[in-house]
Amino acid sequence: MIIIKSKKELELMQEAGRIVAGALEVVKKAIAPGVTTAELDEIAKDYILSKGATPAFKGYQGYPANICASINNQVVHGIPGPTPLKEGDIVSIDIGAFYMGYCGDAARTYPVGKVSPEALDLIKVTKEAFFRGLEFAREGYRLSDISHAIQVYVEQRGYSVVKALVGHGIGQEMHEEPQVPNFGPPGRGPRLREGMTLAIEPMVNQGSDQVRVLDDGWTVVTQDGSLSAHYEHTIAITEDQPLILTQGE
Ligand code: MF3
Ligand code: CO
């Protein structure tokens, strides 16, 4: 069952979303060669707590950190640690927070110092893929219209979308129905309705779409070692334009 949110609930989700967006901003500012992802984790946690919110990932199915920080060939769910970022790396930062019982979830891939034009293109295409999908996040379309638009755009640009992981409904739980794949035929799945809230999150690989999980039980990496990028927002379906909830002031 897809849970429809009231106006009041959407306001709380927007507040949670603003906190997530703010946390991404402070982490972005801290990213530089020599900084460790454990330091980024601490910065995000302090920011979230200072806003009266709680990191959503910590303890989720035993996840050991506050954020996910996935470097280069790591797709998602990288566990922050003591390894310093290097000039030329790309790092995907995924942050979730609960505020007044409601969850916001967003991710972005950032360059560390100066990176290759190839890496920058991957980041740009992943962001644009989200916005191609978002065009269909409106009443009257079906869920898989979003999925289809993302896949078509990414493949047109010569990249692949990860299929082993998907976006999701979100609200009082971080993961609610429906699943939001980044691939598939159009015109399938539930009709989109005002008050539905979704985390749309394309994960895009430079090479093949195949992924595997490292021995830490969390870190998802590309099978072929190619770079991967991630872009996620929590959004609401409205009577008109989709509303991006994980956005700053
Ligand atoms: N944005 C990710 C998701 O939607 C974050 C989950 S990480 C976890 O699934 F550690 F909390 F699982
Ligand atoms: Co998510």
pLDDT of 68-89, one tens digit each?
999 999 999 999 999 999 999 9
The answer to whether residue 152 is domain-embedded is yes
217 lines ligand 1 (CB under 6 A): no
The pLDDT score that the predictor gives to residue 65 is 98
Percent of the chain predicted with pLDDT > 90: 99
pLDDT of 170-192, one tens digit each?
999 999 999 999 999 999 999 99
Indicate the top mutation candidate among 79, 174, 230, 235 to test ligand 1's pocket, ranked by most ligand atoms within 8 A of CB.
Answer: 174
Task: Say which CATH number the domain at 217 has.
Answer: 3.90.230.10
Closest ligand 1 atom to residue 165 Cα is 9
Identify the domain containing residue 222 by its residue range: 7-244
The answer to whether residue 240 is domain-embedded is yes
Ligand nearest, relative to CA of residue 95: 1
The answer to whether residue 1 is domain-embedded is no
In the predicted model, is pLDDT for residue 91 greater than 90?
A: yes
How would residue 249 be classed by pLDDT, with cut points 50, 70 and 90? low
176 lines ligand 1 (CB under 6 A): no
In one-letter notation, the amino acid at residue 105 is D
The answer to whether residue 107 is domain-embedded is yes
The answer to whether residue 249 is domain-embedded is no
Q: What is the C-alpha separation between 80 and 68, in angstroms, rounded?
A: 6
Helix (H, G, I), strand (E, B) or coil at 73: coil
Closest ligand 1 atom to residue 167 Cα is 4
Q: What rounded mean pLDDT belongs to the chain?
A: 98
pLDDT of 6-58, one tens digit each?
999 999 999 999 999 999 999 999 999 999 999 999 999 999 999 999 999 99
The pLDDT score that the predictor gives to residue 248 is 86
Q: What is the C-alpha separation between 114 and 109, in angstroms, rounded?
A: 14
* Angle, CA of 2, 44 and 236, to the nearest 5°: 25
Give how many domains the chain has, as a whole number. Answer: 1
- Closest by CA to 27, choosing from 75, 97, 132, is 97
In the predicted model, is pLDDT for residue 158 greater than 80?
A: yes
**In this structure, what are the phi and psi dihedrals at residue 34, rounded to the nearest 5 degrees?**
95, -20
The answer to whether residue 43 is domain-embedded is yes
> How much is the average pLDDT of 96-111?
98
pTM above 0.85, yes or no: yes
77 lines ligand 1 (CB under 6 A): yes
